[in-house]
Amino acid sequence: MRDEITEALKQATKSQDKRRLSTLRLVAAAIKDRDIANRTAGKEPANDDELRGLLAKMIKQREESAKIYADNGRAELADGECEEIAVIQAFLPQQMDAAEMEAAVRDAVAETGAKAMSDMGKVMGVLKAKYAGRMDFGRANGVVKAALSG
């Protein structure tokens, strides 16, 4: 994934695509920050799963910003955030649809033997380990609650 991002950064520089270039620079900086944090904690550099989680977090931040801008009548800023989202999403696998998410939650519940809401952390842990970058864990949280409550 790092190589893909580096190559995309080179291409954006050559094509002088300012929005793509600035977004990819932000992504590269976030990856470098994560690697530094891992190194200080005595861990290995971030693996692809961690990077997918990081990119998903960046997308979520931009979605929130775009909503705030749109609510306040700043369409040009909201559009800029949406363009950045599109650039970042190109590096993530296709997101799960609702049916796939429900099936994954059922499998995780069965795998962990979860019976009650107190087991939610175990189920979410399994989902995060298996589906980092492919699943919206905010939505999955609701699906897990529904599965465990009835």
Average pLDDT over residues 81-98: 89
| Banded pLDDT at 140 (limits 50, 70, 90) | confident
Average pLDDT, the chain: 90
> Domain locations in the chain?
2-89, 98-149
Tell me the pTM. Answer: 0.71
| Banded pLDDT at 150 (limits 50, 70, 90) | low
Average pLDDT over residues 83-110: 89
Residues 81, 95: Cα–Cα separation, whole Å: 19
pLDDT at 80: 94
| Banded pLDDT at 119 (limits 50, 70, 90) | confident
Q: Say whether pLDDT at 7 is over 70.
A: yes
State pLDDT tens for residues 50-88.
888 889 899 999 999 999 999 999 999 999 999 999 999
Average pLDDT over residues 114-127: 88
Q: Is 95 left (phi over 0), alpha (psi -120 to 50) or beta?
A: beta
Average pLDDT over residues 22-26: 95
Q: For every residue of 42-99, which 3-state class applies, written as one string?
A: CCCCCCHHHHHHHHHHHHHHHHHHHHHHHHCCCHHHHHHHHHHHHHHHCCCCCCCCHH
* Domain 2-89 of CATH type 3.40.50.300: no
pLDDT at 77: 95
Residues 61, 55: Cα–Cα separation, whole Å: 10
Residues 132, 145 contacting (CB under 8 angstroms): no
Tell me the range of 72-76, 120-124, 142-146 where mean pLDDT is highest.
72-76
Residues 96, 122 contacting (CB under 8 angstroms): no
Q: What is the largest CA-CA distance in the chain?
A: 55
**Class assignment of domain 98-149?**
mainly alpha
DSSP class of 1: -
